[in-house]
Structure 1
Amino acid sequence: MAIRVADLDLPRYRMSLDDPTHHEYYAEVAAAKSHGWIQRWLCGYVVFGHEDVSALLRERRLHQAAGKVPALLAGIENPVSSLPADDILLAEGDKHLRLRRLVAEAFSPKSVDGLRPAIRTHVGRLVDDAMSGARRDTDGRVLLDFQTMIDELPVAVIGDMLGTGREDFPLYSKWAESHFQVLKSSAVGDTERDSRLARDAEEFDRYCVTLINERRRNLTNDLLSKLITAEESGDRLSTGELVSLIRSFIAAGIDTTRNQLGSMMALILDTPGAWANLRENRELVVGAVEESLRLLNPIRMAMRLVHETFEYRGVIFPTGTLIGIGLSGASRDDAHFT
């Protein structure tokens, strides 16, 4: 007989949403998985096993909860802690399918492949800049400022996607940080912080509307122009939906890319012989990148809210239940990866 999740005698997983070190996080996850497939966490529950994570990610009765989590944790309604309803990352059902159809051509393999030459140019420029300011250690080895490189690369690529100049890049970094702060749990209720984030959000919206209107008057070959002209049976993206897509580029494309590049480089340098092996065997680079994405997942947890009561593994999850889906725990599940 199925049992309600609230009636289960479950251990409590105590890791905070706020970012611990990789070592602390993965050690906590490994310990948590030894106590069962599901645990209490925050104001809901969490799962980490690969099989459970995969099944729940496919569960249509679970909806996105990312922008609602801070307010849920605090038990308050907080306007800066909610993402717009037309955000493609949060849209569900027919609305999500409509948005996907409209943006499909702009994100086709051919379109994305067209970004490669510009990305190579940016990487070459950043490496040249780093080399020109490089120092040497006592053994004569070159010391590069890799942090500056990974900070600037994703911003430059997004600038290409939007067809904007380098003078706007500092704004993108600021807005990416603001978005990250919106999703943090520890500062909910901080009125000074909330006011600053609200101002940043208003500034971002004004910037995007101005950019979209200018691009509509003067279409180019950038991704934004392709999104503006995207059409299916007479249907087009609204200004609000375009703003939301730009928000997704900046929020999901800057910090995640920076963190992944930095984590990947640290993993390679910390693995004896890895750097020399990749340097001599370039065909191994793609596999190394994929493995770093598995081991150091840029998005550790996907938050979901139960939209309609459902049963899984003999457990009933009522509407409104918050579930943390441990992506990074699943990607290190020894029962699946050998």
Structure 2
Amino acid sequence: MTISEVGLDPYNYDFHEDPYPYYKRLRDEAPLYRNAELGFWALSRHRDVLQGFRNSTTLSNKFGVSLDPASRGPHASKTMSFLAMDDPDHLRLRTLVSKGFTPRRIRELEPRVTEIAVQHLDSMLEQARDGATVDYVDEFAGKLPMDVISELMGVPQADRVQVRAWADAVMHREEGVTDVPDSAIEASLNLIVYYQEMVKERRKQLTDDLTSALLEAEIDGDRLTDDEIIGFMFLMVIAGNETTTKLLANAAFWGHRNPDQLAPVYEDLEQVPSWVEETLRFDTSSQILARTVQGELELYDTVIPDGDVLLLLPGSAHRDERVFENPDDFVIGREIGSKLMSFGSGAHFCLGAHLARMEARVALAELFKRIRGYEVDEATAVRVHSSNVRGFAHLPMSVSHR
């Protein structure tokens, strides 16, 4: 079989339904894959993806981490903040942002995250009385992460539904569209204008939120500009909201598919973090991240030229049988540890990893305090269509209340 017969098209709806057979063929037959038509290379084996994440000199972030042409380029940092930068710019901005986005702030947010989760759950479970079907994404998984980020940043309650709608529109892709659609560009502009107003208000009157903390962040007289703060807020909405929504829905879906694995979790909620970790491994939200080659990179006796796009595939790496035993089995409690790359690795390791894990743990534990079982209606579930994230736009389910 020739390499050209092994395919990877991140825009293909069939690939979105189930990318894992594609990944396996890549790992086995084309560990360095080339798609000439879409203009990228791809790495699929665990060892190669991990080295790729850790090589932030030859593999540059400065043109962004998405394959979509409109998202790529020197302007990427406007909406992706330090994720689309290399050092020293990346290190400067990340260090300043870390002054406001502290582990302590995340810890102190947990009681409020619990309140928001309970509020949405109460509403969802009320709708699910008497065996009625309810959309878990619409009513819970899609609401909680965006509300948590809005809470963190200080977005007023009254504006949150609108902000959430814009964030969703930024990510949505119709079939066959290989670039950022006009609707997503319009939603992005709306979000940026909204955050500009918010920053302007905080300049006049600081409050106790992350937006104000970012305005106050300072190292040796160096401060964040308004554009840098807005870029980070935008990154939080896209990276923080989208991936956590997908994590919550993927956890519910694979739990439904593997009831034997979930049974002990109902009895012991201390196992919820293990459920979260196995979901991150088995079906990670963040499947594909792009890098740009700087200089030259030689892999598998092939020289990848300067300026070419190289995709790192953590979604594939997590199913690599060279690293994980029976990787296609969903096993809650398996040893994963540092082999996980859902949050990247190296210099660009996700700053929001703690927040995402805390949200998922709280959300799923609170759900399981209230139900003793659930059934997903797979026939009407709808997948998200995106070139880099994986999850559900709609996940209808019925629940058995405790």
Normalising by the residue count of structure 1, what TM-score does the alignment of the two structures yield? 0.85
Residue of structure 1 in register with 2:67 after alignment? 69
Q: Deviations over 1:129-150 (max 9, x none)?
A: 122222323xxxx755422111
Larger deviation, residues 242-251 vs 42-51 = 42-51
Q: In 2, distance between residues paired with 1:20 and 1:174?
A: 26
| Residues 32, 300 of structure 2: 8 Å contact kept | no
The secondary structure found in structure 1 opposite 2:303 is: strand
Query: 1:230 aligns to what?
Result: 217
Matched, 1:269 2:256: yes
Q: Please give the secondary structure, in 2, of the residue aligned with 1:157.
A: helix
Contact 1:66–1:302, Cα closer than 8 Å, also in 2: no
- What SS does structure 2 have at the residue aligned with 1:290? helix
Give the match for residue 106 of structure 2.
112
Shift of 1:225: 1.2
2:125 pairs with 1:131: yes
Deviation at 1:155, TM superposition (A): 1.6
Which residue of 154, 157, 165 corresponds with 2:145?
154
Could you tell me which amino acid in structure 1 is paired with residue 54 of structure 2? R
**Equivalent position amino acid for 1:316 in 2:** V
Secondary structure class of the residue paired with 2:100: coil
Cα displacement (A) at 1:261: 0.5
- Corresponding residue to 1:85 among 70, 77, 92: 77
Quote the residue 1:180 is aligned against: 171
Q: Is the 8 A contact 1:175 1:250 kept in 2?
A: no
Match of 1:17 among 10, 13, 36: 10
Query: Structure 2 vs 1, CA of residues 20 and 189 (structure 1 numbering), >3 Å: closer, same or farther?
Result: closer
Structure 1 residue aligned with 2:317: 330
Q: Secondary structure at the match of 2:83?
A: coil
Deviates further, 299-308 or 165-174: 165-174
CA 1:172–1:81 in 2, change beyond 3 Å: closer, same or farther? farther
Alignment CA distance shift 1:174-1:67 (3 Å)? farther
The answer for unaligned runs of 5 or more in structure 2 is 326-402
Retained in 2: the 8 A contact 1:84–1:244? no
Counterpart in the other structure of 2:341: none
Query: Against the structure 1 CA distance between its residues 189 and 26, is the aligned structure 2 distance closer, same or farther, given a 3 Å change threshold?
Result: closer
Alpha-carbon distance between aligned partners in 2 of 1:130 and 1:122, rounded to the nearest angstrom:
12
For residue 200 of structure 1, report the CA deviation from its aligned partner: 2.9
Count of residue pairs the alignment pairs up: 315
Asked if 1:279 corresponds to 2:266, the answer is yes
Report the residue type matching 2:289 in the other structure. Answer: A
Q: Distance in 2 between matches of 1:151 and 1:299?
A: 16
Given candidates 115, 118, 134, the residue that maps to 1:121 is 115
| 1:16 aligned partner, one-letter code | D
Separation (CA, whole Å) in 2 of partners of 1:310 and 1:21? 28
Maintained 8 Å contact 2:15/2:22: no
Question: CA separation of 1:213/1:322 partners in 2, compared to 1, >3 Å: closer, same or farther?
Answer: same
C-alpha contact (below 8 Å) 1:135/1:144 kept by paired residues? no
Q: Report the Cα distance in structure 1 between the residues aligned to 2:5 and 2:311, rounded to whole angstroms.
A: 13
| Structure 2 CA distance for aligned equivalents of residues 255 and 189 of structure 1 | 18
* Counterpart residue number, 2:41: 45
Q: Distance in 1 between matches of 2:202 and 2:9?
A: 42
Percent identity of equivalent pairs: 24
Structure 1: which amino acid aligns with 2:136? F
CA RMSD of aligned residues (A): 2.4
3-state DSSP of counterpart to 1:257: helix
2:234 to 227, 243, 247: 247
Separation of aligned partners in 2, 1:292 and 1:28 = 19
The structure having more radius of gyration, on CA atoms, is 1
State the distance in 2 between where 1:307 and 1:178 align.
Answer: 33
Runs of 5+ in structure 1 lacking a partner? 1-8, 72-77
Distance 1:278 1:179 in 2: 35
User: Match of 1:335, SS?
Assistant: coil
C-alpha separation between the residues in 2 aligned to 1:90 and 1:280?
A: 43
- Using the TM superposition, name which of 165-174 and 299-308 deviates more: 165-174
Distance 2:193 2:44 in 1: 40
Question: Of 192, 216, 222, which residue of structure 2 is paired with 1:205?
Answer: 192
How far 1:28 sits from its partner (Å)? 1.5
| TM-score (norm. length: structure 2) | 0.72
- The one-letter code of the counterpart of 1:273 is D
Q: 2:161 aligned to 170, 174, 182, which one?
A: 170
Q: Match for 1:57 among 40, 53, 57?
A: 53
User: Aligned AA for 1:17?
Assistant: P
